[in-house]
Amino acid sequence: MTFSECFGMAWKNIMSSKMRSLLTMLGIIIGVTAVIVIMGMGNGMENYMRESFQELGTNNMTVTLIGRGNSYTQMSYEELQEIVEENPDDFDLISPTVTMTGTVKIGSETMDATSVTGVGEDYFEIKSLHIAQGRGIQYVDELKRTYVCVIGSYLNNTMFNGNGIGETLKIDGREFTVVGVLEEKADSEEGGSDDVIYVPYSTASRLSFTGMMSTYILTIVSEDRASESKTVMENALYNYYKDDDSYMVSATAEALETMTSMLNVVITVLAVIAGISLVVGGIGIMNIMLVSVTERTREIGIRKALGSKEKYILMQFVTESALTSALGGIIGILLGYLLSAAVTEAITQLMEADITVSPDLGSVLLAFSISAGIGVFFGYMPAKKAAQMNPIDALRYD
């Protein structure tokens, strides 16, 4: 008896009682579907996170200097720049960022949602922002604390009809001249990343009281070295302050890594829980196979009388159980994909977030081989029972 004959026999038997076979597979179907959707959800969330972080810039690092105690020890911009220059393998560009809270007025209109930030000349490069018209903030602006600004495309389009260069706007009553317009980044919505104003950081810190705290944004040379670069910065800062509460360093890439690994732990735990239902499904298959072996005692007797060796009977039942389970796996995979698409649709409808539930080929193959393996594992015991039946008793069985 060849394997293809064995396979054919198993297929025929499964197809001859479809309903029963389907019910037998149910546990496997549910288990595989759950595993596929959960893995797909993990992938979707990871991609979503990666994209969100990419918007922030994965090669960015933020340094916040809080300063220490009453002695007002605070590192200056120049000192921080020195650290950057001393570590060319870790850091590249640096720019201060000063958040302003003053009211913005364009003509007679007050802009509540617009964010105003004081930045250095390299800020636009660090954040991958492109100047569409005019120029960016320059070194002279920093030096002379000029009242110039670069505006986002939203403001340019809605407030200045696309011709913002040379026009003026007011921040906290001070008049700023628009010298540059940024390329559209998001979708030019109010309060979005195109509803922004950038001014020289030096001008900004003069206008707004930020206390001792100052924030800087840097680019790191290599994302792969993110946590090492972070340590370099932390060590340098610790040497200065001798106190690790005086500063905060966060690298986007490192944060992404941390969050991804946390997410992976959660997803793995969920997948394992879903995997338990695969084991339950396997026990269901074993149960039905045991019933089936008993029901087919006479068939086993006949086959043995006609010359079937034990290994053929064993092969027949194991193949049947493995095929049942594998079919359940395939149905589960198909259902998993359908459900993934449905969940993606639901997320898009219910939340603003763009999470695509996308099962990867690896987890699909894994789910399939586990289900086939479960069929073999849980089918073996009933098959062994069948193979070892005494032909005389089996023939006499009704």
Partner 1 sequence: MAQETIIEFRDVSKVYHMGDSIIRAADHVNFTVKKGEFVAIVGQSGSGKSTCMNIIGCLDVPSEGEYLLQGKNVGEMDRDELAEIRNEMLGFIFQQYNLLPKLNLLENVEVPLMYAGVPKEERRERAAAALEKVGLGNKMKHLPTQLSGGQQQRVSIARALAGSPSVILADEPTGALDSRTGREVLRMLQQVHREGNTVVLITHDNGIAATAQRVIRLDDGHIVYDGPVTDPNAFVQPKIYTEEVAQ
Residues engaged in binding partner 1 (CB under 8 A): 1, 5, 12-13, 16, 298-299, 301-312, 391-392, 395
Q: Of 5 and 187, which has the nearer Cβ to partner 1?
A: 5
Nearest distance from C-beta of residue 391 to partner 1, angstroms? 5
Nearest distance from C-beta of residue 18 to partner 1, angstroms? 14
Report which secondary-structure segment, H or E, holds 270: helix 252-295
Rg (CA), the chain: 33
Q: Of 2 and 261, which has the nearer Cβ to partner 1?
A: 2
Q: Of 305 and 338, which has the nearer Cβ to partner 1?
A: 305
104-106 and 109-111 as β-strands: parallel, antiparallel, unpaired?
A: antiparallel
Nearest distance from C-beta of residue 287 to partner 1, angstroms? 22
Nearest distance from C-beta of residue 302 to partner 1, angstroms? 5
Q: Of 280 and 392, which has the nearer Cβ to partner 1?
A: 392
Nearest distance from C-beta of residue 290 to partner 1, angstroms? 19
Nearest distance from C-beta of residue 325 to partner 1, angstroms? 21
Nearest distance from C-beta of residue 321 to partner 1, angstroms? 17
Question: Quick check: 221 and 185 in contact, CB under 8 A?
Answer: no
Q: Of 4 and 349, which has the nearer Cβ to partner 1?
A: 4
Question: Quick check: 95 and 150 in contact, CB under 8 A?
Answer: no
Collapsing DSSP states into helix, strand and coil, what is residue 163?
coil
174-182 and 148-151 as β-strands: parallel, antiparallel, unpaired?
A: parallel
- Please report the beta strands in the chain, taking only residues with DSSP state E, as ranges in sequence order: 60-65, 91-100, 104-106, 109-111, 115-119, 131-134, 148-151, 168-171, 174-182, 196-200, 214-220, 247-251
Length of the chain: 398
Rounded CA gap, 254 and 235, in Å? 17
Nearest distance from C-beta of residue 339 to partner 1, angstroms? 35
Q: Of 34 and 315, which has the nearer Cβ to partner 1?
A: 315
Question: In b/e form, how buried is each residue of 168-185, taking b as 16+ CB within 10 angstroms?
Answer: ebbbeeeebebbbbbebb
Q: Of 2 and 239, which has the nearer Cβ to partner 1?
A: 2
Q: What is the DSSP letter of 112?
A: S
Q: Of 173 and 307, which has the nearer Cβ to partner 1?
A: 307
Token pair for 82: 């020195």
- Please report the beta strands in 53-90, taking only residues with DSSP state E, as ranges in sequence order: 60-65
Burial (0-12, 13-18, 19+ Cβ within 10 Å), 83: buried
Identify which of 317, 316, 315, 330 has the alpha carbon closest to the alpha carbon of residue 286: 317
Tokens 């393998």 map to which residue? 89
Nearest distance from C-beta of residue 329 to partner 1, angstroms? 25
Q: Of 93 and 395, which has the nearer Cβ to partner 1?
A: 395
